[in-house]
Amino acid sequence: MDLPASRPAPPRARKDPKRIEQLGRLRVDDYAWMKDDNWQQVLRDPKALRADVREHLEAENAYTAAQLAPTEPLQAALFAEMKGRIKEDDASVPAPDGPFEYYVRYEVGAQHPRHVRRPRGGDGPEELLLDEEALASGKAYFHVGAASHSPDHALYAWAADEQGSEYYVIRVKELASGKEVAAPIESAYGDFTFSPDSQWIFWIWRDESARPAKVFRRPVRTGPGGAAEDELVYEELDDGMFLGLGVTSDHSHIVIHVGNQETTEIHLLAAGDPTGAPVCAEPRRTGIKYELDHWGDRWVIRTNDDGAVDFKLCISDVAVPSRASWRDWVPHRPGHYITGFAAYAHHLVRAERVNALDRLVVTTRGGEEHVVAFDEEAYALSLDHGYEYVTTRTRFVYQSPTTPRQWFDYDMASRERALRKTQEIPSGHDPDRYVARRLHATAPDGQQVPITLLMLKDAPRDGSAPVMLYGYGSYGHAMEPAFSIRNLSLVDRGWIWATAHIRGGSDKGWGWFLDGRKAKKPNTFTDFIACAEHLIGEGYATKGKLAAYGGSAGGMLMGAVANLRPDLWGAIIAAVPFVDVLNTMSDTSLPLTPPEWPEWGNPIEDAAAYDLIASYSPYDKVSAQTYPPVLATGGLSDPRVTYWEPAKWVAKLREFQAGDAPILLKINMEAGHGGASGRFDFLKEIALDYAFAVWALEEGWRKP
């Protein structure tokens, strides 16, 4: 590699070959040493990281900083622009609940919000419930997961993570005195719920491998020995399942949700007997998902049972809604993906997605329906359930690539919309400067893959504009055409922002997800490549002026398309990338391995799954070819995509790089999967990504 004289040489990771024999197959991992065997302790205490690994990561960070030093003014400008689009003294729309309305608000300059309430209607003094900014003071990382008041409005509980490892500590305080009324709950998941009588808190314990494994209940008012009063409510013996907690909309039942990407099981506790034993609603059946809520005298169940690929709604009139009692209510319609629903005393609202566009359908107890929809070419519509059950009002949020978020209160009886808030852009935003378009690329098998574009109205269509193509394509997570204060910084510089709605997501229904998982996973990669080729063919992009961007499982996508078609890209940004797929899915000690086998397959027991994963696993498929400039990022405390995945991948890319483009790694030594925790600090990481893209496409790396 020929480097400008003023540029530093990249770190050279040592090679320490590790032979791995599995199902009669052999692979050699030269960089397995980067995984600290004591990684569980590192999650809780990053200072425990082995010295040689720390030295290597710090060298990588120094190299990246030196390479990108010329972009520091651009990073600062991008950050200032993004921050300038945030209303610093912002507040959420108050959510009513009984005598109060609850909301969060930010002070000018604050990275974290204050949780507050005031008397319903807004007439009366504001009461501080939780000051995240004060709690975060002096801490490198601070994140609040769940935070909620008790149903009797007397208590407030919150789950805080101070490492990025997603091990949370739950605290409960009495609002009248401001004092904590229970001993802290340690090693918790960031989810909890109060019992409807406000006497118990239900929480989830994370085991030594950071998996949610048990549900406990504890009296909300305990002595200093707190943990001694914990009662085991439910234990999940299958390492492949996640746990969740909630309460039905009518507050009649506590809900324990057990499931993974393809299978669900729900356990119920009657609110009138919160110390009782949970009862299973319907035992798990592989491939069958369901969720439920109690609606007056019946249960409503959303399920993919009986071949309902895009889901249907059933009802049940019995106390424990087993499958034998389910009756079809809203039948399955292919292409009409029912994404969720919210129950109120006299209405039920279901959310649907049709051809990558959202709509809401309101149903009365008598069965009358009407649709809430919008007319833009590409938009996102989401439901905000709220606290109250006996009400005619629901709330939804509307946005599009050109339209900032708008919060509407909707009267389900009168059908009147009341705009409660429009996202304010202090530095200014003129929607008429931009245009959003919806294109469709043809995949190799003929499927039409939607692409959403955001650009200036006068952007040229001659291939001269740089393009950022963003993708994810896993777990059924849809890339909704939302408004972004971040993307505008590139668009305002003449870039085109393109979002690829590829298979593996649920953008076109649950079948769109099923066609991008397990044996069909390669569709995700070829869909993304088809989107890039379509943009080139339609004159929006040119090879070499096209940047690819994705994070987490989307980072795996980046690794795959880097190997498959490195010639397409002028830059690749892989944020916390899941690139060491074969090794990770073969390591049962890691937090997400067993729960993720339904998504990728189990290469420990299934030879076909092994061979499939080996055929695309980005780390394993790195080969001697000319790769474009690559920036990979990670977090030292990340339990989802462990730090060594991007570190190993970068080392191997650099080893096999046949060209002279730089391969860079940036590890946040004080954060986890989500990066920096503050609302402004996080933007600095995005600014780095975007500055790298500009630098790479303008070939700044070739300049001395």
Indicate if 464 belongs to the active site.
no
The C-alpha angle with vertex 8 and arms to 3 and 10, in degrees rounded to 5, equals 85
Spatial CB neighbours of 549, under 8 Å, sequence gap ≥ 6: 468, 469, 470, 471, 558, 572, 573, 575, 689, 693
Query: Which of 552, 617, 637, 677 is flagged as catalytic?
Result: 552
Residue 496 lies in a domain: yes
Residue 34 lies in a domain: yes
| Residue percentage of the chain with pLDDT more than 90 | 89
In sequence order, what are the beta bridge partners of 492?
none
Task: Kindly list the distances between the CA atom of residue 590 and the CA atoms of 23, 40, 391, 576, in Å, as whole numbers in the listed order.
Answer: 20, 9, 45, 16
CA distance 547 to 550: 10
Token pair 């959420």 is found at 92
Query: Which of 56, 115, 267, 673 is flagged as catalytic?
Result: 673
The C-alpha angle with vertex 214 and arms to 580 and 676, in degrees rounded to 5, equals 45
Query: Which of 358, 515, 638, 689 is flagged as catalytic?
Result: 638
Indicate if 623 belongs to the active site.
no
Would you say residue 398 has pLDDT above 70? yes
Question: The tokens of 231 are what?
Answer: 């009662």
Would you say residue 1 has pLDDT above 50? no
Averaged over 303-325, what is the pLDDT?
Answer: 98
Region of poorest pLDDT, from 355-364, 534-543, 563-572? 355-364
CA distance 564 to 558: 10
Range of the domain at 663: 18-83+429-702
Residue 586 lies in a domain: yes
Position 243 scores a pLDDT of 96
Give the pLDDT confidence of 8-60 residue by residue, as tens digits.
899 999 999 999 999 999 999 999 999 999 999 998 889 999 999 999 999 99
Secondary structure letter of residue 511 according to DSSP:
H
Between these two residues, 474 and 592, which has the higher pLDDT value? Answer: 474
Residue 572 lies in a domain: yes
Residue 659 lies in a domain: yes
Averaged over 261-267, what is the pLDDT?
Answer: 96
Residue 382 lies in a domain: no
Residue 173 lies in a domain: no
Token pair 């009407």 is found at 370
Q: Is the pTM of this model over 0.85?
A: yes
Position 56 scores a pLDDT of 98
- What amino acid occupies position 629? P
Q: How much is the mean pLDDT over the chain?
A: 95
Q: How many domains does the chain have?
A: 1
Indicate if 552 belongs to the active site.
yes
Would you say residue 2 has pLDDT above 70? no
**Residue 687: CATH number of its domain:** 3.40.50.1820
Spatial CB neighbours of 578, under 8 Å, sequence gap ≥ 6: 552, 553, 555, 556, 584, 641, 645
Would you say residue 227 has pLDDT above 80? no
Q: Please report, to the nearest 10 degrees, the dihedral formed by the alpha carbons of residues 454, 455, 457, 460 taken in order.
A: -140
DSSP string, 317-356: -SSS--GGG-EEEE---TT-EEEEEEE-SSEEEEEEEETT
Region of poorest pLDDT, from 208-217, 378-387, 668-677? 668-677
Residue 306 lies in a domain: no
Would you say residue 76 has pLDDT above 90? yes
